């Protein structure tokens, strides 16, 4: 059994590590690119949302490299189409003539699932624990690294220094994984980050990113949004991440707190991260951010539902707001233009705010 | 006091706009239902709505805008789950919040969760806001429930009548708010009747009577992935109520049709007239979706598969605010030609 899974931005190496340590023969997914997106959307149902097409594109390239089993995750708490991804993808692959099997890793019986994996791969509990420890520690490191780089980007002396470190880490992580040299790589990355020279006391604009979790966190499908905004001189704040997802799955009271905050605008969940987007926007207003970028796949059900509410907040609080719907037709140049225009609006807003004070 | 009920989306869903109308009237309130969908309503709805929103939501917002200024409050319940605990479309959850952004009229938005509360309890709670006399409220609820029964009977009778007819039968798969809204579906029933076809609404096909029992005996327990994967099921473990209903109804009508076609083969040599059972054979199936309907993009995959596996001709139509009647007419004519 050779397994693969959909590509998910910077988290891909962490997921690879998890499955490898669990004893699977993993074929890591290729980085999403325009060709794979095009191929994926060719086979997928036209009116389905964009991430499904991206996933199918990833599968096709992995299947050609010898994978025969795909791990896909069904989120039982979600109300949106994500629930049916694995079953639709199975149908798409069957129709396209591939004999791969998609295994749905949902969260309904985690312990049972792990026991099954233990049995198949004949590994000990210690190894299971180690696998989870390793992957979670690498996820935490990646998220810290992303945060730090987002902080450094607008402040660095020579543009691109922080990103070079980020690239260094992700270029070498595969090699390090094979040689068990992850700790060394982490240390090197940390040292490199420390060496990035920054301009102190720089007037920095703060921008929040929110929306659909895959589009927000996958740096390929959103055309490196964070990097682009960062290099335009904005400090990017992003709440949505894998750990955010897991945290909210484990602690339902966090949703309760969010609901309390968004109550004047929205009185129930709308599935996906719709409510979270409203919540994050309100937090951004409260924290005094200079702008908000809302990013979603075209016709995403939860995000499209809450978009009028976000626009209302934008009109009420006068905070700059940009909503980007992406699909396989969008070109990078168009996004670049819109972001540049947005950065001008943010700059004006920022200066105006400071003059008033 | 006048209460406005938009004639879209939740009006056509259970318990139905007729129920709410009789219920509010029974308590001595005036009720204004927005007029049947027309060009103006669709245009203003599309203008007020988010561009990527589904067509049905746009129509709904058009109806809400139509009521603005004519009524004291608008009734938009927040539909959450049905009696089996299956969810409605997530867009139903936030309808009242979105409507509140574009109108100034106050909105009555009771939370409807049939899994937790029965219809009587919910209606009683709503009634207490308008009426002090509990007897009167209860009477109003009873009247409303008779209305529901009447509707169900009417549906069933219409189904049997249509099944007995000698014309070829086409089943129309869609949501009730598209099936029964003649402007939205562009009068497809009349068009097909003119072409000599009998149109059966998927909504009319009776569901299993013991569905509620089934839910009590643990149907809704979450299946593990192996159970789903090994079970050679044609559709997933739905968490959407319409998904479950429609796939069940489609399965039923296909079963009837298969039985009918077997019967025809046996009796073909002896009789010149078709046997009564062979009348039940399905000639084709049409599915209509509102453009950008996220739920239908999932549902369509399974409905299409089910029909195509049994070699029943299938036509998929998308409607939006720009769909022209002439185009639909051509496609229907072509489809009917393939059936003959």
The two tokens of residue A16 are: 């690879």
A209-223, A226-240, B247-261: lowest mean pLDDT where?
A: B247-261
Contact B239 A45 (CB under 8 A): no
Q: What CATH architecture applies to the domain B165-339?
A: 3-Layer(aba) Sandwich (3.40)
Average pLDDT over all residues of chain A: 91
Contact B97 A302 (CB under 8 A): no
**pLDDT score at B275:** 57
Options 3.40.190, 3.40.30, 1.20.1070, 3.40.50; CATH for A2-130 is 3.40.50
Name the nearest CA neighbour of B18 among B123, B106, B148: B148
**pLDDT score at A1:** 87
Cβ–Cβ < 8 Å for B71, B4: yes
Of A101, A266, A325, Cβ closest to residue B52: A325
Name the nearest CA neighbour of B299 among A304, A51, A83, A73: A83
Task: Quote the minimal CA–CA distance from B321 to chain A in Å.
Answer: 16
The two tokens of residue A36 are: 């794979």
Among A80, A84, A324, A329, pick the best mutation site for testing chain B contact (most B Cβ within 10 A). A84
Reported as a pLDDT band with limits 50, 70 and 90, residue A357 is low
User: Which residue in chain A is spatially nearest to B112 when comparing CA positions?
Assistant: A268
Average pLDDT over all residues of chain B: 85
From residue B208, alpha-carbon distances to B86, B163, B244 in Å are 16, 18, 12
Contact A45 B53 (CB under 8 A): no
Q: What is the mean pLDDT of residues A120-149?
A: 92
Q: What is the mean pLDDT of residues B97-119?
A: 91
Name the nearest CA neighbour of A188 among A231, A219, A143, A145: A145
| C-alpha–C-alpha distance, residues A96 and A53, integer Å | 14
- In the CATH hierarchy, which fold is given to the domain comprising B2-150? Rossmann fold (3.40.50)
- Say if residue A242's pLDDT is above 60: yes
Options 3.40.50.410, 1.25.40.420, 3.40.50.11900, 1.10.287.130; CATH for A203-357 is 3.40.50.11900
Q: What is the mean pLDDT of residues B109-138?
A: 90
Residue B319: phi, psi to the nearest 5?
A: -115, 140
Chains A–B, number of C-beta pairs less than 8 Å apart: 100
From residue A199, alpha-carbon distances to A48, A348, B315 in Å are 46, 22, 63
**pLDDT score at B329:** 93
pLDDT over 70 percentage in chain A: 98
User: Which residue in chain A is spatially nearest to B291 when comparing CA positions?
Assistant: A47
Contact A271 B229 (CB under 8 A): no
Contact A47 B52 (CB under 8 A): no
B52: exposed, middle or buried (C-beta count within 10 Å: 0-12, 13-18, 19+)? middle
Contact A267 B222 (CB under 8 A): no
Where are the domains positioned within chain A? 2-130, 156-201, 203-357
Q: Which residues of B touch A (CB under 8 A)?
A: 49-50, 52-54, 78, 80, 87, 90-91, 93-94, 96-98, 101-102, 109, 111, 222, 224-225, 228-229, 236, 239, 289, 292-298, 300-301, 305
- Say if residue B104's pLDDT is above 80: yes
Cα Rg of chain A, angstroms: 21
Cβ–Cβ < 8 Å for B73, B105: yes
Reported as a pLDDT band with limits 50, 70 and 90, residue A299 is confident
Chain B CB contacts of A271 below 8 Å: 90, 93
More confident residue, B201 or B15: B201
The two tokens of residue A110 are: 């985690």
Q: Do A2-130 and A203-357 fold alike per CATH?
A: yes
Q: Give start and end residues of each alpha helix (H) in A22-109.
A: 34-43, 50-64, 85-95
Reported as a pLDDT band with limits 50, 70 and 90, residue A142 is very high
Helix or strand or coil: residue A228?
helix
What would the pLDDT profile of A177-214 be if each residue is shown by its tens digit? 888 899 999 999 999 999 999 998 888 999 999 999 99
- Say if residue B273's pLDDT is above 80: no
Q: What is the mean pLDDT of residues A87-96?
A: 90
From residue A113, alpha-carbon distances to A19, A251, A338, B225 in Å are 13, 21, 45, 10
| C-alpha–C-alpha distance, residues A265 and B100, integer Å | 9
- Say if residue B221's pLDDT is above 60: no
- Say if residue B272's pLDDT is above 80: no
**How many residues are there in chain A?**
357
**pLDDT score at B219:** 40
Task: Quote the minimal CA–CA distance from A148 to chain B in Å.
Answer: 35
Contact B93 A270 (CB under 8 A): yes
Q: Which residues of A touch B (CB under 8 A)?
A: 45, 47-49, 74, 76, 79-81, 83-84, 87-88, 91, 101, 103-106, 108-109, 112, 265-272, 274, 298-302, 304-309, 312, 325
**pLDDT score at A79:** 77
Contact A270 B90 (CB under 8 A): yes
- Say if residue B224's pLDDT is above 70: no
Residue A220 CA from chain centroid, whole number: 10
What would the pLDDT profile of B5-33 be if each residue is shown by its tens digit? 999 998 998 888 899 999 999 999 999 99
Reported as a pLDDT band with limits 50, 70 and 90, residue A74 is confident
Residue B291's CB is within 10 A of a number of other CB atoms, namely 18
Cβ–Cβ < 8 Å for A72, A6: yes
Of B53, B93, B224, Cβ closest to residue A304: B53
Cβ–Cβ < 8 Å for B255, A140: no
DSSP character for A207?
A: E
Q: What is the mean pLDDT of residues B315-340?
A: 90
CATH 3.40.50 occupies which residues in chain B? 2-150, 165-339
A15-19, A71-75, B92-96: lowest mean pLDDT where?
A: A71-75
Q: What is the mean pLDDT of residues A14-31?
A: 93
- Say if residue A315's pLDDT is above 50: yes
What ipTM is given for this predicted complex? Answer: 0.91
Task: Quote the minimal CA–CA distance from A46 to chain B in Å.
Answer: 8
Of B54, B78, B101, Cβ closest to residue A308: B101
**pLDDT score at B263:** 62
Task: Identify whether B15 is preceded by a cis peptide bond (ω within 30 of 0).
Answer: yes
**pLDDT score at A77:** 67
Chain A CB contacts of B295 below 8 Å: 81, 301
The two tokens of residue B281 are: 């054979």
**pLDDT score at A201:** 87
């Amino acid at each position: 059994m050779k397994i693969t899974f959909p590509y998910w931005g910077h988290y891909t190496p962490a997921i690879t590590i998890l499955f490898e340590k669990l004893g699977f023969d993993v074929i890591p997914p290729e980085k999403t690119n325009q060709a794979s997106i095009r191929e994926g959307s060719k086979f997928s149902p036209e009116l389905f949302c964009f991430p499904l097409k991206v996933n199918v594109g990833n599968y096709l390239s992995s299947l050609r490299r010898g994978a025969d089993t795909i791990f896909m995750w069904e989120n039982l708490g979600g109300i949106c189409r994500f629930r049916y991804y694995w079953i639709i993808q199975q149908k798409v692959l069957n129709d396209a003539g591939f004999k791969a099997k998609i295994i749905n890793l949902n969260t309904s019986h985690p312990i049972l699932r792990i026991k099954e994996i233990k049995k198949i791969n004949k590994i000990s509990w210690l190894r299971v624990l180690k696998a989870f420890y390793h992957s979670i520690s690498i996820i935490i490191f990646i998220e810290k690294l992303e945060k730090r780089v987002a902080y450094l980007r607008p402040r660095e002396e020579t543009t691109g220094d922080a990103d070079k470190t980020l690239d260094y880490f992700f270029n070498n992580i595969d090699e390090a994984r094979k040689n068990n040299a992850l700790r060394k790589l982490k240390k090197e990355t940390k040292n490199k980050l420390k060496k990035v020279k920054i301009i102190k006391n720089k007037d920095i604009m703060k921008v929040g990113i929110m929306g659909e979790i895959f589009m927000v966190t996958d740096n390929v499908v959103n055309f490196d949004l964070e990097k682009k905004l960062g290099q335009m001189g904005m400090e990017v704040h992003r709440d949505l991440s894998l750990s955010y997802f897991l945290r909210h799955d484990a602690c339902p009271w966090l949703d309760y707190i969010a609901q309390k905050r968004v109550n004047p605008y929205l009185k129930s969940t709308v599935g996906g991260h719709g409510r979270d987007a409203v919540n994050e926007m309100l937090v951004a207003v409260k924290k005094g951010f200079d702008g908000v970028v809302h990013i979603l796949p075209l016709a995403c059900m939860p995000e499209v539902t809450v978009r009028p509410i976000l626009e209302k907040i934008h009109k009420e609080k006068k905070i700059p707001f940009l909503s980007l719907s992406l699909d396989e037709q969008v070109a990078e140049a168009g996004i670049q233009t819109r972001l540049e225009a947005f950065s001008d609006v943010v700059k004006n807003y920022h200066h105006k705010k400071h003059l008033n004070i | 006091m006048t209460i406005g009920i938009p004639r879209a989306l939740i009006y056509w869903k259970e318990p139905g706009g007729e129920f709410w109308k009789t219920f509010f009237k029974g308590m001595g309130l005036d009720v204004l239902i927005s007029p049947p969908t027309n060009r103006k309503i669709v245009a203003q709805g599309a203008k007020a709505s988010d561009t990527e929103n589904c067509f049905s939501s746009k129509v709904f917002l058009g109806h809400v805008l139509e009521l603005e200024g004519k009524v004291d409050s608008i009734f938009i319940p927040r539909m959450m789950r049905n009696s089996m605990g299956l969810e409605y479309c997530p867009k139903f959850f936030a309808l009242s919040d979105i409507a509140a952004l574009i109108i100034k009229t106050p909105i009555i938005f009771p939370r409807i969760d049939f899994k937790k509360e029965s219809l009587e309890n919910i209606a009683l709670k709503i009634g207490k806001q308008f009426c002090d006399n509990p007897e009167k409220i209860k009477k109003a609820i009873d009247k409303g429930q008779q209305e529901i029964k009447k509707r169900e009977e009417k549906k069933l009778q219409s189904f049997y009548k249509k099944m007995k007819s000698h014309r070829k039968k086409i089943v129309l798969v869609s949501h009730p708010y598209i099936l029964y809204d003649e402007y939205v579906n562009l009068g497809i029933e009349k068009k097909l009747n003119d072409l000599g076809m009998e149109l059966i609404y998927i909504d009319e096909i009776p569901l299993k009577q013991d569905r509620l029992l089934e839910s009590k005996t643990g149907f809704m327990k979450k299946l593990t992935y192996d159970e789903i994967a090994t079970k050679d099921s044609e559709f997933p473990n739905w968490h959407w109520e319409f998904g479950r209903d429609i796939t069940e109804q489609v399965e039923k009508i296909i079963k009837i049709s298969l039985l009918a076609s077997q019967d025809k083969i046996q009796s073909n040599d002896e009789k010149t007239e078709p046997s009564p059972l062979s009348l039940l054979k399905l000639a084709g199936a049409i599915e209509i979706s509102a453009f950008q309907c996220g739920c239908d993009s999932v549902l369509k995959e399974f409905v299409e598969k089910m029909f195509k596996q049994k070699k029943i001709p299938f036509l998929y139509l998308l409607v939006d605010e720009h769909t022209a009647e002439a185009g639909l007419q051509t496609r229907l004519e072509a489809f009917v030609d393939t059936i003959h």
